[in-house]
Amino acid sequence: MQMPRPTKFHKKLAALAGDWTGDEVFPPSHWEPKGGKAKGRYKTRAIAGGFAFVQDYEQSRGGKVTFTGHGVFGYDVQQNCYLWHWTDSMGGMPCTATKGQWTKNQIVWENEGPMGRSRYTHTFLRGGKLGFKIEASQDGVAWTVMMEGLYTKKAAKKK
């Protein structure tokens, strides 16, 4: 039996791979009534023969880690969409995967849960930069920006 190979859709997720660091801004919202800033860092790498990518995230404020998370990205051929499973130090476990679609230089993910709807956008920029935005909505029409980050990919070490 010939083993399956990752599709072009799985391979596209390699754009997320690497060691990323950047500044994050939280506009005033129910998350952060006064708004705020943080430093974000995450490492993403291929697993399972390239069928998935795993991400470990840390957020720091005042030099101390204040939030951590773990994600797994993949592509579901049957549903024809990207899937993102996420859990973090807020204690929640994913009940369903967040579904995403790739359009031009962005992956836009959307999910609905007990607290409303969430939208997450990864925007791949020139020069090894990555934008990330989290938005929330109660009705799926009016969206509020909860967080925006701009990250730089660390250059690979020369062998």
Tell me if 55 sits within 8 A of 73, measured CB to CB. Answer: yes
Cα–Cα nearest to 18, from 58, 45, 50, 39: 45
CB-side neighbour CA atoms (13 Å) of 19 = 4
pTM here is 0.91
| Length of the chain, in residues | 159
Over the stretch 95-117, which tens digit does the pLDDT of each residue have?
678 999 999 999 999 998 877 89
Checking if the pLDDT of 78 tops 70, the result is yes
Indicate whether 23 pLDDT > 90. yes
Structure letter (DSSP) for residue 13: G
CA angle (7, 10, 13) in 5-degree steps: 150
CATH code of 8-153, in short, is 2.40.128.20
Average pLDDT on 86-100 reads: 84
Q: Determine the pLDDT at residue 118.
A: 93
pLDDT digits (tens, 9 = 90+) for 32-66: 899 999 999 999 999 999 999 999 999 999 999 99
What Cα–Cα distance (Å) separates residue 145 from each residue in 38, 95, 100?
A: 15, 23, 18
- Domain ranges across the chain: 8-153
